[in-house]
C-alpha cells in the first residue's frame, strides 16, 4: 500500500527525469478474458487522453468495453480535483456503484484513478468509508494499472498505490484513440507554477517535458495513419523545455511539429507568463499552426492576480493579448476566469469586467472559486460569500456571452478551413471546427467526414456558427 502525501507532492527535486518504456508481462494478457469494463472520465483533455491509454491497457488484458455500467465487471473512474463539484460527481457515482455492488453484482471490481487519487483527504475517505472500492491508483503510476488490477483480482483487500513524487516519463503506453482524424499528444506533464488556488501541482507533480524526438515521432506516425489534427497537451505548454539541460523551447517544438506536415496543430494550455515573442512569430509564420490561443487570465485585478500567484499584472496581460491580436492574423483567443477568489472586492471584479470589455474573448470558461485541500488560497481569511460569488458569475457570464455572439457575427461572410468531424444529432448536418476552434454546422455529404473543407459562415449564434461549403 502506498498513500498520497502532500508534503512530498509539493517538493520539487532537481533529479533528472529519465525515460522508461511501458512493459506488460505476458501472463497478464488474459486476465480480462470474457469480462467487460466501463470507464467514466471527468475533467480536462489530459484526463481524456489518459483514458485513451487506460482503454488500450485494459484491452491488452482482453477486457472489452461497455457503455452500460450495469453490465460491467470492472468500473474505473478517471477523476478530476480541480473544483468541489468534480469531487461531488465522482463521489455521487461511487454511491450508485455501492448499490450495484450490493444488490446486483458482488463480484464487481471498482477502481479510482486520476487527480482525486492523489489527494490525501480522498484516499483517507475511501479507506475509511468506501472500503468496498477495490483499488486506487495514482496519476504518476497509471502505467502500472495492469499490475494493480491483477493484485486486486487475486487478493480480497483494497489496493492503494499512489506515488506522491512523480517518477520518470513513460513512453510506449498503448493508446486507443477516440477519434480517427484528430489526436491528443502529451508534451509536458505536471506544473511548477503553484497558483495559490490550484491543486494541479500537487496531483500532477513536477513539470516534466517529453523528449522532442518522441513527440515528433508520434506526430509523424499520426500523419502516416491519416490524422489531420493534433492538440499538444500540457497544464502549461509554454514552459515546455524549461527542464531540459539544453536549449529547446515551445517555439522550437511548434516549428518542428509544423514541419511534420500535419494539417492542423492546436496546443493548450498557455500560461501568459511564459508566452514568448518567439512563439508568437512561429504561430504567425506557419499555416498549419492554428490561430487559436487559450490564454487564461483568471482575474482582471492586479491585486488579486498577485494573491493568486499568477506572476503578471492586468497591464502586462493586456500588452501580451494586444501583441497576439496584432501579430497573428485572424487569431481567436479564449480564456478562463475565476470569480470570488478570497479577498475579491466589487472593485476587483469590475477590473475583470473591464478587462473582458477590452479583450472581447471568442470563448471563456468562467468559474466560481472553489477552495482546494491544503492550497494556500484555501487558508486565506477573507473568503467571499457563496451568494456574492454566484451573483458575480452571473454578471460576468452576461458580458462574456455578449462578445461571443458579437464576434461570431463579425465572422459572417468569412471562409474557414473546417475539419469535418461528424453529423450533428440535432440538425442532421455536418459539423466541425474552424481554424479558430469555433463549432460550425453546415450541409454536406457524409463522405466528407475526416476531410478538411472550406466553409463560408452564413449565420452566427452565441455558441456556434452556421455555414455553407464553398467549392
Q: Which is nearer to ligand 5AD, 55 or 193 (CB)?
A: 193
Interface segment toward ligand 5AD; rule CB under 6 A; list 126-134, 226-234, 365-373, 381-389: 365-373
How many angstroms from the chain centroid is the CA of residue 40?
A: 15
Return the number of other C-beta atoms located less than 10 Å from residue 376's C-beta.
16
With binding defined as CB under 6 A, does residue 370 bind ligand 5AD?
yes
By CB under 6 A, the count of residues binding ligand SF4 is 10
As a residue count, the chain comes to: 471
Binder of residue 236, out of ligand SF4, ligand 5AD, none (CB less than 5 to 8 A by kind):
ligand SF4
Q: Which is nearer to ligand 5AD, 208 or 374 (CB)?
A: 374
Binder of residue 271, out of ligand 5AD, ligand SF4, none (CB less than 5 to 8 A by kind):
ligand SF4
Site string for ligand SF4, 209-248 (x = CB under 6 A): --------------------------xx------------
Site string for ligand 5AD, 310-349 (x = CB under 6 A): --------------------------x-x-----------
Residue 196 in contact with residue 310, Cβ under 8 Å? no
**How far is 443 from 214, CA to CA, in rounded Å?**
39
CB of 362 to ligand 5AD, least distance (A): 16
Residues from 224 through 283 that contact ligand 5AD (CB under 6 A): none
CB of 271 to ligand SF4, least distance (A): 5
C-alpha distances out from residue 81 to 67, 91, 246, 370, Å:
24, 12, 34, 10
Between strands 465-469 and 452-460, the pairing is: antiparallel
DSSP 8-state class, residue 46: H
Q: Which is nearer to ligand 5AD, 68 or 387 (CB)?
A: 387
Strand partners for 365? 336
By CB under 6 A, the count of residues binding ligand 5AD is 12
> Sign of dihedral through CA atoms 311, 316, 317, 320?
negative
Residue 339 in contact with residue 367, Cβ under 8 Å? yes
**How far is 367 from 390, CA to CA, in rounded Å?**
9
Among 43, 111, 201, 272, which residue interacts with ligand SF4 (rule: CB under 6 A)? 201
Interface segment toward ligand 5AD; rule CB under 6 A; list 24-32, 155-163, 362-370, 387-395: 362-370
Q: Which is nearer to ligand 5AD, 275 or 367 (CB)?
A: 367
**Nearest CA among 385, 312, 394 for reference residue 342:** 385
**How far is 364 from 438, CA to CA, in rounded Å?**
12
Between strands 109-114 and 74-79, the pairing is: parallel
CB of 436 to ligand 5AD, least distance (A): 20
Q: Which is nearer to ligand SF4, 197 or 403 (CB)?
A: 197
**Nearest CA among 454, 342, 335, 447 for reference residue 399:** 335
> Coil, helix or strand for 212?
helix
Going by C-beta distance under 8 Å and a sequence separation of 6 or more, which residues neighbour residue 447? none
Residue 250 in contact with residue 279, Cβ under 8 Å? yes
Site string for ligand 5AD, 379-418 (x = CB under 6 A): ----------------------------------------
With binding defined as CB under 6 A, does residue 175 bind ligand SF4?
no
Backbone angles phi, psi at 135, to 5 degrees: -155, 155
CB of 222 to ligand 5AD, least distance (A): 26
Among 367, 404, 431, 433, which residue interacts with ligand 5AD (rule: CB under 6 A)? 367
Q: Which residues bind ligand SF4 (CB under 6 A)?
A: 191, 193-195, 198, 200-201, 235-236, 271
Q: Which residues bind ligand 5AD (CB under 6 A)?
A: 82-83, 197-198, 296, 298, 336, 338, 367, 369-370, 372
Amino acid at each position: 500500500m502506498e498513500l498520497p502525501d502532500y508534503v512530498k507532492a509539493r517538493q520539487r527535486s532537481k533529479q533528472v527525469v529519465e525515460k522508461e518504456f511501458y512493459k506488460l508481462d505476458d501472463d497478464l494478457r488474459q486476465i480480462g478474458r470474457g469480462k467487460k469494463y466501463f470507464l467514466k472520465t471527468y475533467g480536462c483533455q489530459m484526463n481524456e487522453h489518459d483514458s485513451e491509454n487506460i482503454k488500450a491497457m485494459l484491452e491488452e488484458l482482453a477486457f472489452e468495453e461497455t457503455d452500460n455500467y450495469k453490465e460491467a465487471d470492472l468500473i474505473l473512474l478517471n477523476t478530476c480535483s480541480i473544483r468541489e463539484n468534480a469531487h461531488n460527481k465522482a463521489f455521487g457515482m461511487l454511491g450508485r456503484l455501492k448499490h450495484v455492488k450490493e444488490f446486483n453484482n458482488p463480484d464487481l471490481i471498482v477502481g479510482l484513478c486520476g487527480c482525486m487519487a492523489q489527494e490525501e483527504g480522498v484516499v483517507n475517505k475511501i479507506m475509511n468509508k468506501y472500503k468496498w472500492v477495490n483499488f486506487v491508483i495514482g496519476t504518476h503510476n497509471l502505467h502500472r494499472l495492469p499490475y494493480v488490477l491483477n493484485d486486486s483480482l487475486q487478493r480480497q483487500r483494497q489496493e492503494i498505490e499512489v506515488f506522491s513524487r512523480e517518477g520518470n516519463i513513460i513512453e510506449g503506453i498503448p493508446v486507443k484513440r477516440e477519434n480517427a482524424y484528430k489526436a491528443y499528444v502529451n508534451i509536458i506533464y505536471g506544473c511548477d507554477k503553484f497558483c495559490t488556488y490550484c491543486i494541479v501541482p500537487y496531483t500532477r507533480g513536477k513539470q516534466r517535458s517529453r523528449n522532442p524526438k518522441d513527440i515528433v515521432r508520434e506526430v509523424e506516425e499520426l500523419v502516416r495513419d491519416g490524422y489531420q489534427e493534433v492538440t499538444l497537451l500540457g497544464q502549461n505548454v509554454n514552459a515546455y523545455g524549461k527542464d531540459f539541460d539544453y536549449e529547446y523551447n515551445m517555439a522550437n517544438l511548434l516549428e518542428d511539429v509544423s514541419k511534420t506536415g500535419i494539417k492542423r496543430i492546436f496546443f493548450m494550455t498557455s500560461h501568459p507568463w511564459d508566452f514568448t515573442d518567439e512563439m508568437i512569430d512561429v504561430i504567425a509564420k506557419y499555416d498549419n499552426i492554428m490561430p487559436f490561443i487559450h490564454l487564461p487570465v483568471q482575474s482582471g485585478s492586479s491585486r488579486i492576480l498577485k494573491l493568486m500567484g499568477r506572476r503578471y499584472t492586468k497591464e502586462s496581460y493586456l500588452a501580451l493579448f494586444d501583441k497576439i491580436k496584432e501579430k497573428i492574423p485572424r487569431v481567436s483567443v479564449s480564456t478562463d476566469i475565476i470569480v470570488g477568489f478570497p479577498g475579491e472586492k466589487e472593485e476587483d471584479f469590475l477590473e475583470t469586467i473591464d478587462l473582458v470589455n477590452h479583450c472581447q474573448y471568442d470563448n471563456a470558461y468562467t468559474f466560481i472559486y472553489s477552495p482546494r485541500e491544503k492550497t494556500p488560497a484555501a487558508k486565506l481569511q477573507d473568503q467571499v460569500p457563496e451568494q456574492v460569488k454566484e451573483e458575480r458569475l452571473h454578471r460576468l457570464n452576461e458580458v462574456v456571452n455578449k462578445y461571443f455572439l458579437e464576434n461570431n457575427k463579425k465572422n459572417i461572410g468569412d471562409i474557414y478551413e473546417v475539419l469535418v468531424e461528424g453529423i450533428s444529432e440535432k440538425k442532421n448536418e455536418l459539423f466541425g471546427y474552424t481554424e479558430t476552434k469555433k463549432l460550425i454546422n453546415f450541409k454536406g455529404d457524409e463522405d466528407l467526414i475526416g476531410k478538411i473543407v472550406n466553409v463560408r459562415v452564413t449565420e452566427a449564434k452565441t455558441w456556434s456558427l452556421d455555414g455553407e461549403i464553398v467549392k
